[in-house]
Structure 1
Amino acid sequence: MHQSFYDMIEQNPVIAAIKNDEGLEKCCGLEDIRVVFILYGNICTIPAIVHRLKKAQKVAMVHLDLITGLGPKEVSVDFIRNSTEADGIISTRPAIIRRACELDFYTALRIFILDSMAYENIEKQLNAVRPDIVEILPGAMPKVIRKVCRKVRQPVIASGLISDKEDIMVALAAGAIAVSSTNQEVWMM
Protein backbone atom coordinates (compact mmCIF):
# COMPACT_ATOMS: atom_id res chain seq x y z
CA MET A 1 0.00 0.00 0.00
CA HIS A 2 1.08 3.55 -0.63
CA GLN A 3 1.62 4.86 2.91
CA SER A 4 1.41 8.52 1.87
CA PHE A 5 -2.01 7.88 0.31
CA TYR A 6 -3.23 6.22 3.51
CA ASP A 7 -1.84 9.09 5.59
CA MET A 8 -3.68 11.70 3.48
CA ILE A 9 -6.96 9.85 3.89
CA GLU A 10 -6.41 9.36 7.60
CA GLN A 11 -5.72 13.10 8.08
CA ASN A 12 -9.08 13.99 6.55
CA PRO A 13 -11.50 11.06 6.41
CA VAL A 14 -14.01 12.85 4.17
CA ILE A 15 -13.39 12.32 0.46
CA ALA A 16 -15.20 14.49 -2.06
CA ALA A 17 -16.75 12.45 -4.85
CA ILE A 18 -17.51 14.77 -7.75
CA LYS A 19 -20.13 14.13 -10.40
CA ASN A 20 -20.15 17.45 -12.29
CA ASP A 21 -18.28 20.72 -12.85
CA GLU A 22 -20.11 22.39 -9.95
CA GLY A 23 -18.73 19.78 -7.55
CA LEU A 24 -15.28 20.15 -9.11
CA GLU A 25 -15.19 23.89 -8.42
CA LYS A 26 -16.66 23.51 -4.92
CA CYS A 27 -14.11 20.90 -3.77
CA CYS A 28 -11.22 22.87 -5.27
CA GLY A 29 -12.15 25.72 -2.94
CA LEU A 30 -12.19 23.56 0.20
CA GLU A 31 -8.77 23.41 1.85
CA ASP A 32 -9.62 20.41 4.05
CA ILE A 33 -10.50 18.19 1.09
CA ARG A 34 -7.30 16.42 0.07
CA VAL A 35 -8.53 13.41 -1.92
CA VAL A 36 -11.14 13.63 -4.68
CA PHE A 37 -12.93 10.77 -6.45
CA ILE A 38 -13.83 11.79 -10.03
CA LEU A 39 -17.13 10.15 -11.03
CA TYR A 40 -17.78 11.94 -14.31
CA GLY A 41 -16.22 13.08 -17.54
CA ASN A 42 -15.28 11.65 -20.88
CA ILE A 43 -12.18 10.85 -22.83
CA CYS A 44 -11.97 14.48 -24.00
CA THR A 45 -12.67 16.23 -20.67
CA ILE A 46 -10.90 14.03 -18.11
CA PRO A 47 -7.44 15.57 -18.66
CA ALA A 48 -8.82 19.07 -17.89
CA ILE A 49 -10.83 17.84 -14.86
CA VAL A 50 -7.74 16.19 -13.38
CA HIS A 51 -5.59 19.24 -14.19
CA ARG A 52 -8.03 21.51 -12.31
CA LEU A 53 -7.78 19.27 -9.24
CA LYS A 54 -3.99 19.09 -9.41
CA LYS A 55 -3.83 22.88 -9.71
CA ALA A 56 -5.80 23.00 -6.44
CA GLN A 57 -3.27 20.54 -4.91
CA LYS A 58 -5.73 17.63 -4.63
CA VAL A 59 -5.12 13.92 -5.04
CA ALA A 60 -7.15 12.98 -8.14
CA MET A 61 -8.64 9.47 -8.27
CA VAL A 62 -10.41 8.66 -11.57
CA HIS A 63 -13.30 6.19 -11.44
CA LEU A 64 -12.41 4.58 -14.75
CA ASP A 65 -15.73 2.72 -15.11
CA LEU A 66 -17.61 6.05 -15.24
CA ILE A 67 -15.53 7.88 -17.86
CA THR A 68 -17.42 7.93 -21.14
CA GLY A 69 -15.35 6.75 -24.08
CA LEU A 70 -13.00 4.56 -22.04
CA GLY A 71 -13.74 0.87 -22.13
CA PRO A 72 -13.21 -1.75 -19.43
CA LYS A 73 -9.77 -2.61 -20.80
CA GLU A 74 -6.32 -2.22 -19.29
CA VAL A 75 -5.33 0.17 -22.10
CA SER A 76 -7.77 2.69 -20.57
CA VAL A 77 -5.52 2.80 -17.49
CA ASP A 78 -2.57 3.46 -19.78
CA PHE A 79 -4.53 6.32 -21.35
CA ILE A 80 -5.13 7.90 -17.93
CA ARG A 81 -1.41 7.53 -17.07
CA ASN A 82 -0.23 9.02 -20.39
CA SER A 83 -2.87 11.73 -20.87
CA THR A 84 -3.61 13.05 -17.38
CA GLU A 85 -1.92 13.95 -14.10
CA ALA A 86 -4.18 11.53 -12.14
CA ASP A 87 -2.85 9.97 -8.97
CA GLY A 88 -5.12 6.97 -8.85
CA ILE A 89 -7.75 4.71 -10.32
CA ILE A 90 -11.05 3.46 -8.92
CA SER A 91 -12.81 0.52 -10.57
CA THR A 92 -15.12 -2.40 -9.90
CA ARG A 93 -12.94 -4.53 -12.20
CA PRO A 94 -9.94 -6.37 -10.70
CA ALA A 95 -8.10 -6.41 -14.08
CA ILE A 96 -8.26 -2.60 -14.20
CA ILE A 97 -6.94 -2.35 -10.64
CA ARG A 98 -4.16 -4.83 -11.42
CA ARG A 99 -3.00 -2.68 -14.36
CA ALA A 100 -3.24 0.47 -12.26
CA CYS A 101 -1.00 -1.19 -9.63
CA GLU A 102 1.52 -2.04 -12.35
CA LEU A 103 1.59 1.64 -13.33
CA ASP A 104 2.04 2.69 -9.67
CA PHE A 105 -1.31 4.44 -9.33
CA TYR A 106 -3.10 4.64 -5.99
CA THR A 107 -5.90 2.09 -6.31
CA ALA A 108 -9.41 1.61 -4.95
CA LEU A 109 -11.46 -1.49 -5.72
CA ARG A 110 -15.13 -0.52 -5.51
CA ILE A 111 -17.42 -3.29 -4.31
CA PHE A 112 -21.20 -3.15 -4.13
CA ILE A 113 -22.43 -5.19 -1.15
CA LEU A 114 -25.93 -5.97 -2.35
CA ASP A 115 -26.40 -9.42 -0.82
CA SER A 116 -24.60 -12.29 0.89
CA MET A 117 -23.15 -13.53 -2.41
CA ALA A 118 -21.46 -10.18 -3.00
CA TYR A 119 -20.12 -10.25 0.55
CA GLU A 120 -18.75 -13.77 0.14
CA ASN A 121 -16.99 -12.81 -3.14
CA ILE A 122 -14.93 -10.05 -1.53
CA GLU A 123 -12.03 -12.35 -0.64
CA LYS A 124 -12.01 -13.85 -4.14
CA GLN A 125 -11.78 -10.39 -5.70
CA LEU A 126 -9.05 -9.29 -3.31
CA ASN A 127 -7.05 -12.46 -3.91
CA ALA A 128 -6.98 -11.54 -7.61
CA VAL A 129 -5.67 -8.04 -6.94
CA ARG A 130 -4.22 -6.04 -4.04
CA PRO A 131 -5.71 -2.53 -4.13
CA ASP A 132 -4.57 0.15 -1.71
CA ILE A 133 -8.12 0.51 -0.41
CA VAL A 134 -11.49 -1.17 -0.70
CA GLU A 135 -14.47 1.09 -1.27
CA ILE A 136 -17.77 -0.48 -0.25
CA LEU A 137 -21.23 0.68 -1.22
CA PRO A 138 -23.66 1.48 0.20
CA GLY A 139 -21.72 3.02 3.03
CA ALA A 140 -24.55 3.53 5.50
CA MET A 141 -24.37 -0.05 6.80
CA PRO A 142 -22.28 -0.14 9.99
CA LYS A 143 -22.80 -3.85 10.66
CA VAL A 144 -21.62 -4.74 7.16
CA ILE A 145 -18.70 -2.29 7.33
CA ARG A 146 -17.58 -3.95 10.56
CA LYS A 147 -17.76 -7.42 8.96
CA VAL A 148 -15.85 -6.31 5.86
CA CYS A 149 -13.15 -4.60 7.95
CA ARG A 150 -12.62 -7.86 9.86
CA LYS A 151 -12.51 -9.85 6.61
CA VAL A 152 -10.01 -7.79 4.58
CA ARG A 153 -6.51 -6.48 5.20
CA GLN A 154 -6.91 -3.35 3.11
CA PRO A 155 -8.33 -0.17 4.60
CA VAL A 156 -12.05 0.31 3.87
CA ILE A 157 -13.80 3.44 2.65
CA ALA A 158 -17.59 3.65 3.04
CA SER A 159 -19.41 5.29 0.13
CA GLY A 160 -22.95 5.84 -1.00
CA LEU A 161 -25.89 7.11 1.06
CA ILE A 162 -23.59 9.06 3.41
CA SER A 163 -25.69 12.14 4.08
CA ASP A 164 -24.88 13.59 7.51
CA LYS A 165 -22.40 13.71 10.37
CA GLU A 166 -24.04 10.71 12.07
CA ASP A 167 -23.44 8.58 8.94
CA ILE A 168 -19.77 9.63 8.95
CA MET A 169 -19.26 8.90 12.63
CA VAL A 170 -21.05 5.53 12.49
CA ALA A 171 -19.02 4.42 9.43
CA LEU A 172 -15.74 5.44 11.07
CA ALA A 173 -16.71 3.76 14.36
CA ALA A 174 -17.48 0.58 12.41
CA GLY A 175 -13.91 0.51 11.09
CA ALA A 176 -13.90 2.50 7.84
CA ILE A 177 -10.88 4.80 7.54
CA ALA A 178 -12.90 7.33 5.54
CA VAL A 179 -16.16 8.08 3.79
CA SER A 180 -16.73 9.25 0.25
CA SER A 181 -19.76 11.31 -0.73
CA THR A 182 -21.13 13.40 -3.58
CA ASN A 183 -23.13 15.36 -0.98
CA GLN A 184 -21.35 18.72 -0.80
CA GLU A 185 -22.64 19.39 2.72
CA VAL A 186 -20.83 16.26 3.92
CA TRP A 187 -17.54 17.59 2.51
CA MET A 188 -17.56 20.39 5.08
CA MET A 189 -18.16 18.18 8.14
Structure 2
Amino acid sequence: MKNQFYNKIGINPIIAAVNSMEKLDLAIQSPCEIIFLLCGNIFNLKEIIHKVKENDMDIYVHIDLMEGFSKDSMALKYIHENLQPDGIITTKSSLVKKAKNMNIFTIQRLFMLDSLSLHTGISSIQSTRPDAVEIMPGIMPKVIKKVYEDTHIPVIGGGLISDKEDVIESLKAGAVGISTSKEEVWHM
Protein backbone atom coordinates (compact mmCIF):
# COMPACT_ATOMS: atom_id res chain seq x y z
CA MET A 1 0.00 0.00 0.00
CA LYS A 2 2.81 2.40 0.83
CA ASN A 3 4.49 2.03 -2.53
CA GLN A 4 1.16 2.41 -4.32
CA PHE A 5 0.51 5.73 -2.54
CA TYR A 6 4.00 7.05 -3.22
CA ASN A 7 3.90 5.93 -6.86
CA LYS A 8 0.57 7.63 -7.50
CA ILE A 9 1.56 10.84 -5.71
CA GLY A 10 4.77 10.79 -7.74
CA ILE A 11 2.71 10.79 -10.94
CA ASN A 12 0.53 13.69 -9.78
CA PRO A 13 1.11 15.41 -6.42
CA ILE A 14 -2.34 17.02 -6.43
CA ILE A 15 -4.95 15.12 -4.42
CA ALA A 16 -8.65 15.77 -4.96
CA ALA A 17 -10.29 16.39 -1.60
CA VAL A 18 -13.98 15.57 -2.04
CA ASN A 19 -16.07 17.36 0.56
CA SER A 20 -19.48 16.89 -1.08
CA MET A 21 -21.07 14.15 -3.13
CA GLU A 22 -21.62 16.63 -5.96
CA LYS A 23 -17.84 16.82 -6.43
CA LEU A 24 -17.18 13.06 -6.59
CA ASP A 25 -17.72 12.67 -10.35
CA LEU A 26 -15.69 15.82 -11.03
CA ALA A 27 -12.81 14.41 -8.97
CA ILE A 28 -13.00 11.08 -10.79
CA GLN A 29 -12.84 12.90 -14.13
CA SER A 30 -9.87 15.01 -13.00
CA PRO A 31 -6.24 14.08 -13.72
CA CYS A 32 -5.69 13.41 -9.99
CA GLU A 33 -4.55 9.89 -9.07
CA ILE A 34 -5.77 10.05 -5.46
CA ILE A 35 -9.00 11.12 -3.75
CA PHE A 36 -9.32 12.08 -0.10
CA LEU A 37 -12.96 11.41 0.80
CA LEU A 38 -14.24 13.91 3.36
CA CYS A 39 -17.94 13.01 3.18
CA GLY A 40 -20.03 9.88 3.15
CA ASN A 41 -21.90 7.57 5.43
CA ILE A 42 -22.49 3.98 6.39
CA PHE A 43 -24.99 3.58 3.52
CA ASN A 44 -23.01 5.00 0.58
CA LEU A 45 -19.35 4.45 1.47
CA LYS A 46 -19.05 1.05 -0.24
CA GLU A 47 -20.53 2.39 -3.48
CA ILE A 48 -18.25 5.47 -3.41
CA ILE A 49 -15.10 3.39 -2.87
CA HIS A 50 -16.08 0.98 -5.65
CA LYS A 51 -16.79 3.83 -8.08
CA VAL A 52 -13.42 5.48 -7.40
CA LYS A 53 -11.47 2.23 -7.67
CA GLU A 54 -13.17 1.17 -10.91
CA ASN A 55 -11.77 4.39 -12.36
CA ASP A 56 -8.21 3.35 -11.35
CA MET A 57 -7.91 5.98 -8.64
CA ASP A 58 -6.92 5.47 -5.02
CA ILE A 59 -9.22 6.57 -2.21
CA TYR A 60 -8.37 7.46 1.38
CA VAL A 61 -11.36 7.81 3.70
CA HIS A 62 -11.36 10.45 6.43
CA ILE A 63 -12.80 8.17 9.08
CA ASP A 64 -13.60 11.03 11.48
CA LEU A 65 -16.01 12.53 8.95
CA MET A 66 -17.91 9.39 7.96
CA GLU A 67 -21.44 9.38 9.36
CA GLY A 68 -22.78 6.28 11.06
CA PHE A 69 -19.42 4.77 12.06
CA SER A 70 -18.04 4.83 15.56
CA LYS A 71 -14.45 5.95 15.92
CA ASP A 72 -13.08 2.65 17.20
CA SER A 73 -11.15 -0.42 16.11
CA MET A 74 -14.26 -2.34 15.02
CA ALA A 75 -15.24 0.41 12.59
CA LEU A 76 -11.66 0.46 11.28
CA LYS A 77 -11.67 -3.29 10.84
CA TYR A 78 -15.05 -3.25 9.09
CA ILE A 79 -14.04 -0.46 6.70
CA HIS A 80 -10.67 -2.08 5.97
CA GLU A 81 -11.92 -5.63 5.43
CA ASN A 82 -15.33 -5.02 3.84
CA LEU A 83 -15.08 -1.68 2.04
CA GLN A 84 -11.36 -1.80 1.21
CA PRO A 85 -10.28 1.81 0.74
CA ASP A 86 -6.57 2.31 0.10
CA GLY A 87 -6.22 3.83 3.55
CA ILE A 88 -7.67 6.17 6.11
CA ILE A 89 -7.22 9.75 7.26
CA THR A 90 -7.78 10.73 10.88
CA THR A 91 -6.93 13.46 13.37
CA LYS A 92 -6.98 10.97 16.22
CA SER A 93 -3.65 9.50 17.37
CA SER A 94 -5.44 6.55 18.95
CA LEU A 95 -6.98 5.61 15.57
CA VAL A 96 -3.59 5.95 13.87
CA LYS A 97 -2.13 3.41 16.29
CA LYS A 98 -5.07 1.01 15.85
CA ALA A 99 -4.95 1.32 12.06
CA LYS A 100 -1.20 0.74 11.97
CA ASN A 101 -1.71 -2.46 14.00
CA MET A 102 -4.14 -3.61 11.28
CA ASN A 103 -1.67 -2.73 8.49
CA ILE A 104 -3.94 0.03 7.19
CA PHE A 105 -2.21 2.88 5.34
CA THR A 106 -2.72 5.85 7.65
CA ILE A 107 -2.57 9.58 7.09
CA GLN A 108 -2.68 11.67 10.25
CA ARG A 109 -4.26 15.07 9.72
CA LEU A 110 -2.93 17.85 11.95
CA PHE A 111 -4.18 21.41 12.30
CA MET A 112 -1.35 23.90 12.91
CA LEU A 113 -2.73 26.88 14.76
CA ASP A 114 0.26 28.05 16.77
CA SER A 115 3.68 26.98 18.07
CA LEU A 116 2.09 24.74 20.72
CA SER A 117 0.07 22.80 18.11
CA LEU A 118 3.24 22.48 16.01
CA HIS A 119 5.20 21.06 18.95
CA THR A 120 2.35 18.76 20.01
CA GLY A 121 1.81 17.64 16.41
CA ILE A 122 5.46 16.73 15.90
CA SER A 123 5.43 14.76 19.16
CA SER A 124 2.30 12.94 18.06
CA ILE A 125 3.80 12.06 14.68
CA GLN A 126 6.99 10.79 16.31
CA SER A 127 4.91 8.63 18.64
CA THR A 128 2.35 7.21 16.19
CA ARG A 129 4.53 7.05 13.03
CA PRO A 130 1.71 7.34 10.46
CA ASP A 131 2.51 6.55 6.83
CA ALA A 132 1.99 10.22 5.91
CA VAL A 133 0.91 13.46 7.58
CA GLU A 134 -1.47 16.06 6.25
CA ILE A 135 -0.69 19.54 7.57
CA MET A 136 -3.53 22.04 7.64
CA PRO A 137 -3.47 24.70 6.47
CA GLY A 138 -1.10 23.66 3.72
CA ILE A 139 0.00 27.18 2.84
CA MET A 140 2.73 27.26 5.49
CA PRO A 141 5.97 26.19 3.78
CA LYS A 142 8.10 26.74 6.90
CA VAL A 143 5.83 24.47 8.94
CA ILE A 144 5.80 21.78 6.24
CA LYS A 145 9.58 21.85 6.13
CA LYS A 146 9.94 21.69 9.93
CA VAL A 147 7.49 18.81 10.32
CA TYR A 148 9.30 16.79 7.66
CA GLU A 149 12.76 17.59 9.03
CA ASP A 150 11.74 16.64 12.58
CA THR A 151 9.81 13.46 11.71
CA HIS A 152 10.99 12.18 8.29
CA ILE A 153 7.37 11.24 7.58
CA PRO A 154 6.04 12.31 4.16
CA VAL A 155 3.98 15.50 4.43
CA ILE A 156 0.92 16.54 2.47
CA GLY A 157 -0.13 20.19 2.53
CA GLY A 158 -3.89 20.61 2.76
CA GLY A 159 -6.35 23.38 3.31
CA LEU A 160 -6.41 26.87 1.80
CA ILE A 161 -4.50 25.69 -1.30
CA SER A 162 -6.08 27.88 -3.95
CA ASP A 163 -3.65 28.41 -6.81
CA LYS A 164 -0.49 27.27 -8.58
CA GLU A 165 1.74 29.37 -6.33
CA ASP A 166 0.38 27.60 -3.22
CA VAL A 167 1.05 24.22 -4.82
CA ILE A 168 4.60 25.13 -5.86
CA GLU A 169 5.51 26.65 -2.48
CA SER A 170 4.22 23.61 -0.57
CA LEU A 171 6.10 21.19 -2.82
CA LYS A 172 9.28 23.28 -2.66
CA ALA A 173 9.07 23.15 1.15
CA GLY A 174 9.17 19.36 1.02
CA ALA A 175 5.55 18.25 0.77
CA VAL A 176 5.11 15.10 -1.33
CA GLY A 177 1.68 16.33 -2.36
CA ILE A 178 -1.13 18.72 -1.68
CA SER A 179 -4.81 18.08 -1.08
CA THR A 180 -7.46 20.55 -2.12
CA SER A 181 -11.16 20.76 -2.75
CA LYS A 182 -10.57 23.48 -5.38
CA GLU A 183 -11.52 21.90 -8.70
CA GLU A 184 -9.40 24.31 -10.72
CA VAL A 185 -6.28 23.16 -8.85
CA TRP A 186 -7.11 19.51 -9.63
CA HIS A 187 -6.49 20.29 -13.32
CA MET A 188 -3.08 21.98 -12.94
**Shorter chain as normaliser: what TM range?**
over 0.9
Identify the residue that residue 4 of structure 1 maps to in structure 2: 4
SS at match of 2:124: helix
* Cα offset, 1:127, TM superposition: 3.2
Amino acid at match of 1:15: I
Does structure 1 residue 69 correspond to structure 2 residue 68? Answer: yes
Shift of 1:51: 1.0
Q: TM-score, normalised by structure 2?
A: 0.94
Identity of aligned residues (%): 38
Q: Which residue of 2 aligns with 1:176?
A: 175
1:20 maps to amino acid: S
Spell out the pairing of 1:126-141 with structure 2 (5 A cutoff).
126-141=125-140
Alpha-carbon distance in structure 2 between the residues aligned to 1:47 and 1:97: 21
In structure 2, runs of 5+ residues without a counterpart are none
CA-to-partner distance for each residue in 1:43-63, whole Å, 9 max, x for gaps? 111111111101111111000
User: For 2:116 and 2:25, how far apart are their aligned partners in 1?
Assistant: 39
Q: Distance in 1 between matches of 2:125 and 2:161?
A: 24
Secondary structure of residue in 1 paired with 2:157? strand
Q: Which runs of at least 4 in structure 1 moved beyond 6 Å after TM superposition?
A: none
Q: How much does 1:99 deviate?
A: 2.1
Q: Which amino acid aligns with 1:98?
A: K
Classify the secondary structure of the residue corresponding to 2:17.
strand
Partner of 1:22: 22
State the alpha-carbon separation in 1 of the partners of residues 9 and 72 from structure 2: 28
Post-superposition offset of 1:78: 1.0
Q: Following the alignment from structure 1 to structure 2, what is the Cα–Cα distance between the partners of residues 74 and 141?
A: 33
Task: Tell me the SS of whatever aligns to 1:108.
Answer: strand
- Secondary structure of 2:70 counterpart: coil
